[in-house]
Amino acid sequence: MKIRSFVRKVQGESGQTVVLGALALSIFMLGAIGLAIDGAHIYAQFQMAQAAADAAAQAGIMSIFDGTNTATGNAAAFTTASSFTCATTDPRTPCAIAAMNGYNLAGDVITVNFPPDSVAPGVNFSGSDPTNLIQVTIQRNVNTTLMALLGPSFSVVRATAMAGIVDVLAPVPILITHPTLAGSFSTNGGVAVTICGGPRRSIQVNSGPLPTIANITKGSGTIDLSHAGPPDPGNCTTGTGADFGTWGGPSTPPFIFNGGSTGRYLQPASPIQDPLAGVAPPPLPSAAAPNPTPLGNGVNGCPAAPVKGCMLYYPGLYPNGIDGKLSTVVLSPGIYYIQNGGVTCAALCSMYMATGVPADPTTGWPQNVLIYNTGNGTINIGANGNISLTGSPASSPYLGILFFEDHNAQANTGANAHSMGGGGGLQLLGTVYLTNTLATMNLDPTHYQELDLQGTPGSSTYIQGEIIVGALHMGGNAAILMDLNSNATLDVREVAMVN
């Protein structure tokens, strides 16, 4: 009897074990299902929070980049002096963008701070912006479902994004620097402007912003960027197109625009700061340059049959400028410091680089010139003559500049604007750099440098380099060809996400 009772007892306990095992398995399965369901939900919430943080950081840094974060009377403006936490209804740019992405509920915590550059070692941050970084953190408590039966009723989802203003090496585009001038860029007549090679954006007009500034007030002719861009070496063979960017209006180009397969007309396009603003002017020479000396025909760069007799000029100080109305100008290598009077080579004047002469003893340049213009006077070259000049080496402190206007020079606009081109041949190898500082133009919008780049039937205007000027007007009825050397690189500000 005892044996049978013992067997029955074991059999009964065996059934209970099965029940307990099933219950344990059910709890385990419930936990696994809860983990899968809630885990997927929490992951989706994290992805949403990360996308919102990225968007808020990008919008915030773009506002800093464009300077709109300090705009007076703008509800979206914000200070970078200290960090802040967004309110539920907060119009400040990072907060508003987070709200547009669904993060303005009660309990959501959105914080915005401005870390020092040191938090991202190895990143080449902008050297011209006082604030280079913005960090946006979004935090939300996400309720759990099945997992709440076994543990916490919510999970903290937190996402952080950081964006910055960085300096990147890029070719310099054609850059119009005036920040507010209406009509700072124009094309008139039947001019056909063709640009080969260079950066993704061939032309940038900084004047703006909308709705107050229509920076392209006149337009005709054609701007052909169909063979511009990095794939092209600068000869219009492999380029697929580049962009025309403008900060202000109009929203569509007033000229015929050909951007190729990859180029676009961009409006609004954020301004690009002057990449040569930090280039120091050459030192003032202690004495005037030697007087020019006559050159025989066919000697040291003088043509075999010049229209006017050749004179060989030497680098140094020119207190009263250079005027080539009586001769053909041949320039020895070096720096020409024009104190007053500017440079004039018009009315059948021609200007060439000297050949077969010693390298400049001061700079070591074998066949390069820098023309630095200060005081009164403009650069006026190319009317019915032939001009062929090569600027400073790209490896020099002057970074390939050919014509360099003193940043503090008086305004040269309208009838007194700088002028290049005309009825003859114009070939410039180097950067045309004619601009006052941004601070000067902001303080007095009438104080800027204007360049009129012209061509007439039968002439050719060729520039291999960059144009950085306060205002640019292209006109005439001839072709203007520009080759942008993709190897000429300088620091250019850009916005980027920072890990």
- Per residue, the 3-state secondary structure of 368-385, as one string, reads CEEEEECCCCCEEECCCC
249 plus 388 within the same structural domain = yes
Q: Which of 167, 189, 212 is at the close of a domain?
A: 167
316 plus 268 within the same structural domain = yes
pLDDT at 45: 86
Asked whether the beta carbons of 142 and 110 are under 8 A apart, the reply is no
110 plus 206 within the same structural domain = no
Q: What percent of the chain has pLDDT over 90?
A: 48
Q: Which of 145, 167, 189 is at the close of a domain?
A: 167
DSSP state at residue 476: E
Q: How confident is the model at residue 186 (pLDDT cuts 50, 70, 90)?
A: confident
Q: What is the mean pLDDT of the chain?
A: 84
418 plus 472 within the same structural domain = yes
Residue 489 CB partners (closer than 8 Å, separation 6+): 169, 170, 171
221 plus 347 within the same structural domain = yes
Residue 383 has pLDDT above 70, yes or no: no
Domain that holds residue 138: 19-167
Please give the Cα distance from 370 to 217 (Å, whole number). Answer: 33
Please give the Cα distance from 101 to 340 (Å, whole number). Answer: 59
Nearest one of 164, 168, 225, 237 to 200, comparing CA atoms:
225
Please count the structural domains in the chain: 2
Please give the Cα distance from 351 to 310 (Å, whole number). Answer: 9
For the ranges 49-58, 419-428, 473-482, the one whose mean pLDDT is highest? 49-58
214 plus 150 within the same structural domain = no
Query: Dihedrals φ, ψ of 495, to 5°?
Result: -100, 140
146 plus 198 within the same structural domain = no
Residue 3 lies in a domain: no
Cβ count near 284 (within 10 Å): 10
342 plus 369 within the same structural domain = yes
Residue 6 lies in a domain: no
Average pLDDT over residues 412-425: 85
Residue 314 lies in a domain: yes
Please give the Cα distance from 396 to 321 (Å, whole number). Answer: 24
DSSP state at residue 56: H
Structure token pair of residue 188 = 């008139």
Average pLDDT over residues 20-27: 53
Structure token pair of residue 215 = 């920076």
Residue 211 has pLDDT above 80, yes or no: no
Q: Which of 135, 167, 199 is at the close of a domain?
A: 167
393 plus 294 within the same structural domain = yes
pLDDT at 403: 97
| Residue 75 CA, distance from chain mean position | 27
330 plus 417 within the same structural domain = yes
260 plus 150 within the same structural domain = no
274 plus 415 within the same structural domain = yes
Residue 155 lies in a domain: yes
Asked whether the beta carbons of 451 and 416 are under 8 A apart, the reply is no
Residue 5 lies in a domain: no
Average pLDDT over residues 144-153: 62
Please give the Cα distance from 366 to 442 (Å, whole number). Answer: 39
Average pLDDT over residues 435-445: 94
Q: How confident is the model at residue 50 (pLDDT cuts 50, 70, 90)?
A: very high
Cβ count near 120 (within 10 Å): 16
pLDDT at 4: 47
Residue 470 has pLDDT above 60, yes or no: yes
pLDDT at 83: 95
What is the pTM for the complete model shown?
0.75
Least confident among 76-80, 379-383, 388-392: 379-383
Whether omega for the bond prior to residue 115 falls within 30 degrees of 0, making it cis, is no
Residue 324 CB partners (closer than 8 Å, separation 6+): 344, 345, 346, 349, 350, 351, 385
Average pLDDT over residues 123-128: 80
Least confident among 137-141, 326-330, 347-351: 347-351
Asked whether the beta carbons of 183 and 470 are under 8 A apart, the reply is no
Asked whether the beta carbons of 91 and 74 are under 8 A apart, the reply is no
Average pLDDT over residues 196-222: 76
